[in-house]
Amino acid sequence: MPRGRTSIDIQRIGAYVTIAVALVITLFPVYWIAANSFKYDIDIFSIPPQWLPSNPTLKHYHAAFIERPFLIYALNSLIIAASTTLVSVVFGSMAGYALARFQYPGRWRYQISFWILSTRMMPPIVTIIPLYIAFNYLGMLNTKPAVIIAYTAFNLPFATWMMKSYFQDLPVELEEAAMVDGDTRWGAFLHVALPLARPGLAATAIFCLIISWNEFLLALVLTLTERSQTLPIGIAGRVTQYSTYWGEISAAGFTACIPIMIFAFIVQKHLVRGISFGAVKG
Amino acid sequence: MTSVTFQGVVKKFGEFIAVNDLNLEVRDKEFLVLLGPSGCGKTTTMRMVAGLEEVSAGDIFIGGDRVNDVLPKYRDVAMVFQSYALYPHFSVADNIGYPLKIRKVPEEKRRQMVMEVARRVELDRLLDRLPKELSGGQRQRVALARAIIRTPKVFLMDEPLSNLDAKLRVQMRAELKHLQHELQVTTIYVTHDQIEAMTLAHRVAVMSRGVIEQLGTPKEIYNNPRTLFVAGFIGSPPMNLIDGEVSDGAFTSAGGIKIGGLGHSNVADAVLGVRPEDAHLLPGGSGKANVTAPIYSVELTGESTLVTVRAGDSLFTLRADKSFVGDFDQMVNVSFAPERVFLFDRKSQNRVDF
């Protein structure tokens, strides 16, 4: 009895404090760029810091999106991230399903799975020169398809593995029932397995989207102009030889967070279910 | 006219032989039960008929056509899974109508057929529900309805009643039997429950370790078991199997059980089989007893009393009248009906005829 209440209270307070600290650490940068994006340059550096813009302005938004081509960067980012996600999820589901369900001689299921995963093991920087040479040879440098292909190469193994584990958690009898009921294997996949793997699809999609939306290194090397440059590259471009345009960087950076946040809100329900899907069966 | 024929069918999983040289003909319109303990290959056998497992060797024929390499969808069989395998994202109506939808039956016709079948299994009020909103018995009916909606060549049922509670199981058993009689569709039914097998089957195939131990009508299997395995597997409570030896037609066990008149057989490692209902309690002091032993326990089941006695270090059970009253350790005289006992050879596991 004496142990009961107080120790539970302490535990609860401890949990809330931990969450609060984590939230401050993760959300402070977002808050800070949001606040800075509405300040005049002089206020950004004022000491003591201005927690909220005393004299709010849309000047930096105007500079970034009207005077400079950030709208085009954003569009490029959107096209590239969406295409990468679509291709990765479509082919990742099919490959994951094949690995989860089909019979392979000997240990080939493991070998193939491991081989797919192993492509993620080297640091991306290692592949940059070969990729650059390959795309140069194909005349694809500074094009969106080149970036999409490169991103897909990095996202597909990940999508395949994620979808494989979701399909493995689905009871196989459901697809067997569909096949005995008159469906083909493809039909069983399309009508039964895929709809049931929706949480997995949502989780895989959001991970692919975040990774390709935020990617910097490959885009930096493979793109040159606003024809194919993405938001992270555009933002980095405002750190120039003579000056760093913090206001524009904040305005563009804060805007770049918004689509991901919207998407995360939409798929949030699926995402939580998706992540815990394997752990709590049935 | 749909028979299902197995010719020398073998199924291997790596080195493990799940089904070994199976030869069996399931006759047209027959209700055949594959009965055996878990791991005996009965479900694998059924899955090979459905096309869900490849055949390692031998041939399977459905209605005269060799189906080894035919996709499940072209075999025209319907299967009821142990877990029911209802599509969780479809309503009851869509679940039942799925085989028709795949076959592109027009929507109007489909709805009509679903309604008809649903009425038959008393699901017509639940058509809009999702499987998770149904009870176990209702789910079972949905699985059944999905199987019967298209009158397939063969029904395959994989322990369809094992997830139901005892009362519902008995009720569904009768319904299943009646349904099969009405539809006149060849049926293969897998179960480990010997009562289900006895009550449902036209013929029972008792399987063990990938081979059929005995094939016959329930009556034959019960009254004339050919092997020790079949004898011990069928019957509830099971047949008493008592180790001993037979010389010149007289059986003797270490526990003092004696019975003569077994022809002129001689078996060193013999097993005597006696069904509980074929052993009788004799009134005290009778000299005709096969054994006199103390009571180990008395269980009233309602329609009879099961009396277990201890002879030496072995126990055996007999079925006495429901009016029987006895105490622990009370000595009783037991006699066996000599024409109703079986003799087996422990070494070969086979019946010894006398």
The answer to whether residue B242 sits within a structural domain is no
B184 and B150 inside one domain:
yes
Residues A177, B71: C-beta atoms closer than 8 Å: no
Taking alpha carbons only, the member of A138, A71, A173, A126 closest to residue B143 is A173
pLDDT score at A276: 47
* A70-101 and A198-214 helices, crossing angle to 10°: 140
Domain presence at residue B350: no
Cβ distance of B81 and A179 shorter than 8 Å? no
pLDDT of residue A43: 84
Edge-first strand listing for the sheet containing B57-62: B16-26, B4-13, B57-62, B65-66
DSSP-assigned letter for residue A51? S
**Total structural domains within chain B:** 2
**Are the C-beta atoms of residues B345 and B352 closer than 8 Å to each other?**
yes
Structure tokens at B185: 């569709």
Residue B226 sits in the same domain as residue B339: no
**CB-CB neighbors (< 8 A) of A182 in chain B:** 73, 99, 102-103
What percent of chain B shows pLDDT beyond 70?
A: 99
Cis peptide before A145 (omega within 30 of 0): no
pLDDT at B194 > cutoff 60: yes
Convert the pLDDT of each residue in B89-101 to its tens digit.
899 999 999 999 9
Domain boundary among B231, B263, B289: B231
Closest CA to A215 of A238, A231, A239, A237: A231
B79/A184 CB distance under 8 A: no
A263 to each of A162, A206, A277, B156, how far by Cα in Å? 19, 8, 20, 46
Check CB contact under 8 Å for B87 and A177: yes
Count of residues for chain A? 282
Residue of A nearest to B52 (CA): A176
Contacts of B156 in chain A (CB under 8 A): 180
Query: Which of B75, B85, B89 is closest, CB to CB, to A177?
Result: B85
CB < 8 Å to A107, chain B: none
Show which residues on chain A lie within 8 Å of chain B, measured between beta carbons.
171, 173-174, 176-184, 187, 192, 195-196
Q: Is residue B321 located within the same domain as residue B227?
A: no
What pLDDT, on a 0 to 100 scale, did the predictor assign at position A121? 85
The residue of chain B with its CA nearest to that of A194 is B89
Q: Are residues B66 and B192 in the same domain?
A: yes
| CA B7 to the chain's CA centroid | 22
Out of B83, B89, B98, whose CB is closest to A181? B98
| CATH 3.40.50.720 corresponds to the domain A58-276 | no
Regions of chain A short of the pLDDT cut 70: 1-5, 271-282
Closest listed residue to residue B92, CA positions, set B63, B125, B116: B125
The size of the A-B interface in CB pairs under 8 A is 55
Q: Are residues B123 and B209 in the same domain?
A: yes
Tell me whether residues A176 and B50 touch, CB distance under 8 A.
yes
Q: Tell me how close the Cα of A267 comes to any Cα of chain B, in angstroms.
A: 19
Same domain, B143 and B291: no
pLDDT tens, residue by residue, B33-69:
999 998 899 999 999 999 999 999 999 999 889 999 9
Report the residue of chain B nearest A198, measured CA to CA.
B89
CB B154 within 8 A of CB B48: no
Q: Nearest residue on chain A to B86, judged by CA atoms?
A: A174
Show residues of chain A in contact with B75, CB under 8 Å. 180
Quick: pLDDT tens for B279-314: 888 876 656 778 888 899 999 988 899 999 998 888
Instruction: Identify the contact set of chain B against chain A, taking CB-CB distances under 8 A.
Output: 50-52, 71-73, 75, 77-79, 81, 83, 85, 87-89, 98-99, 102-103, 146, 156
pLDDT at site A99: 93
Residues 6+ apart with CB under 8 A from B37: B192, B208, B233
Alpha carbon distance A158, A151 (integer Å): 11
- Give the one of A171, A174, A179 whose C-beta lies nearest to B72's C-beta: A179
Alpha carbons B135 and B151: distance in angstroms, whole number: 25
The answer to whether the CB atoms of A183 and B71 lie below 8 A apart is no
CB distance A195–B50 less than 8 Å?
no
Q: Could you tell me if residue B205 is inside a domain?
A: yes
Q: Is B237 contained in some domain?
A: no
Mean pLDDT across chain B, nearest whole number?
Answer: 89
Would you say residue B10 lies in a domain? yes
Report the residue of B46, B83, B102, B117 to disrupt the A interface, i.e. the one with the largest count of A CBs within 10 Å. Answer: B102
Token duo for residue B316: 């055996």
Report the chain A residue with the minimal C-alpha distance to residue B152. Answer: A181
Mean pLDDT for the stretch of residues B115-141: 88
Distance from the B164 Cα atom to the nearest Cα atom in chain A, whole angstroms: 18
Q: What is the mean pLDDT of residues B308-335?
A: 87
CATH number at residue B169: 3.40.50.300
CB spacing of B81 vs A183 below 8 angstroms: no
- What is the extent of the structural domain holding B269? 250-345
Check whether residue B30 and residue B154 sit in a common domain: yes
Rg (CA), chain A: 24
B315: CATH: 2.40.50.140
* Best CA proximity match to B319, nearest among B274, B278, B259: B278
Tell me, what's the pLDDT at A4? 61
Nearest-CB residue to B72 (from A171, A180, A192)? A180
Q: What is the 3-state secondary structure (H, E, C) of chain B?
A: CCCEEEEEEEEEECCEEEEEEEEEEECCCCEEEEECCCCCCHHHHHHHHHCCCCCCEEEEEECCEECCCCCHHHCCEEEECCCCCCCCCCCHHHHHHHHHHHCCCCHHHHHHHHHHHHHHCCCCCCCCCCHHHCCHHHHHHHHHHHHHCCCCCEEEEECCCCCCCHHHHHHHHHHHHHHHHHHCCEEEEEECCHHHHHHHCCEEEEEECCEEEEEECHHHHHHCCCEHHHHHHCCCCCCEEEEEEEECCEEECCCCCEECCCCCCCEEEEEEEECHHHEEEECCCCCCCCEEEEEEEEEECCCCEEEEEEECCEEEEEEECCCCCCCCCCEEEEEECHHHCEEEECCCCEECCC
Rounded to two decimals, the ipTM of the complex is: 0.82
Please name the member of B71, B81, B156 whose beta carbon is closest to the beta carbon of A173: B81
* Residues in chain A within 8 Å Cβ distance of B51: 179-180
- In this structure, the answer to whether residues B213 and B288 fall within a common structural domain is no
Q: Looking at the structure, tell me whether residues B259 and B209 fall in a common domain.
A: no
